[in-house]
Amino acid sequence: MTSTPRHSAVEVNGITLHIAEQGEGPLILLLHGFPESWYSWRHQFGPLAEAGYRVVAPDQRGYARSEQPGDPDAYSLLHLAGDVVALTRALGEEQAVVVGHDWGAPVAWVTAMLRPDVVRAVAGLSVPPVLPAGLATPQATRRRYGDGFYQVYFQQPGVADAELARDPASTFRRILFSGSGDSPSNNPPSPWIVPDGSTLIDSIPEPQQLPGWLTEDDIDAFVRDYAGHGERAFTGPLNWYRNIQRNHELLTAFQGRGIDVPALYVGGDRDMVMSLHGIKELLGSLETVAPKLHRSVVLPGCGHWTQQERPAEVNAALLDFLGHLRGPADHSSSGSAGRSTR
């Protein structure tokens, strides 16, 4: 077993995805969020691989080193769930445990909802299962938070794209720090709002010093991952937001469906997501949405970048969850997956 991830390209659904992979055993797919890449899981590869798992983290459709379809409509949750299924098959597996953070979490939850035959268990970091379509519509968030709410702001073609791509290193410093538990603005957390007359980047100050969990080498790694798309480096990722309304239209037939496989949720109490309307109520009723919920973990002092800010706690929660899974894909004892103890 290699001690560092190996990199390769995989063809899925007519596009090329870059993946990082380490270890052997039952397959675990790690799905990053915005604006990240496979590198956001750098602290998870070693511990999960050493525990006997095959760990694969793709750069998701439109992100970093993966291909960026030009059609904005090519980024719906049906496309993204399809990529998870196709990637599982391309890796020679029938099933995977799927773990997602930020935007990766809705992809993981929705794929588990649609394809429990492929997703044998699911974990979501930061974003709980807002089903069936992943996130509230732009119309709903505009009414509640105004035009400056970041998900509404992102709907404008070319605007945030240009701002974020102007100086990617500064972009990553600003966004990663501002969303962290180390940022004073997240104590308590509040929605990300671009003030009227301001720009996205101007509304996020550049930190004078990076927090202990984030280094300039980490910033450089993200910048290198995004360099191949030039001025369109963030257009693919932003197109995910531009499909939120469409996701609701495409997935309306699944209203009322839940998560039928074992599930885990991990978040931080200083995550901006915690301040959004309805999230606390949703967290209180997770077992209704996911009856096979193993645990719901909220980490004190942790911001949005869960697995980067608190790798030890996240790894422990994931390994505990995985340890309770039993099935033919495991090298351990056989038997069907059932409800885990809380």
Closest to 57 measured CA to CA, from 39, 69, 43, 75: 39
Q: What's the pLDDT score for residue 303?
A: 98
Is the confidence at residue 342, as pLDDT, over 90?
no
Which residue, chain included where needed, has tokens 């927090």?
211
* pLDDT at residue 8 is higher than 90: yes
Helix (H, G, I), strand (E, B) or coil at 10: strand
In the chain, the largest separation of any two C-alpha atoms, in whole Å, equals 60
Q: Of the residues 79, 229, 248, 304, which is catalytic? A: 304
How much is the pLDDT for 3?
Answer: 80
CATH superfamily for domain 6-323:
Alpha/Beta hydrolase fold, catalytic domain (3.40.50.1820)
C-alpha 10/C-alpha 240 separation (Å) is 21
Averaged pLDDT for residues 159-170: 97
Residue 317 — pLDDT band, cuts 50, 70, 90?
very high
Of residues 334 and 221, more confidently modeled:
221
Residue 338 predicted with pLDDT over 60:
no
pLDDT, tens digit (0-9, with 9 covering 90-100), for 41-76: 999 999 999 999 999 999 999 999 999 999 999 999
Band (pLDDT 50/70/90 cuts) for residue 335 is very low
Give the tens place of pLDDT for each residue, 213-240: 999 999 999 999 999 999 999 999 999 9
Q: Can you tell me the mean pLDDT for 329-339?
A: 38
Q: Say what the pLDDT of residue 327 is.
A: 54
Q: What is the pLDDT of residue 330?
A: 55
E strand spans, the chain: 6-12, 15-22, 27-31, 54-58, 96-101, 119-125, 263-268, 293-299
- Cα distances from 56 to residues 33, 45, 99, 186, 209, in angstroms, run 15, 8, 10, 31, 32
Per the annotation, the verdict on 304 as an active-site residue is yes
Sign of CA dihedral 155, 130, 93, 253: negative
Alpha carbon dihedral 265, 61, 111, 251, in 10-degree steps, equals 110
Give 206 or 2, the one with higher predicted confidence. 206
User: What pTM, to 2 d.p., does this model score?
Assistant: 0.94
Which residue, among 76, 69, 53, has the nearest Cα to 17 in the 3D structure? Answer: 69
Which residue in 59, 102, 218, 330 is the catalytic one? 102
* pLDDT digits 0-9 by tens, 269-316: 999 999 999 999 999 999 999 999 999 999 999 999 999 999 999 999
Is residue 102 annotated as part of the catalytic site, yes or no? yes
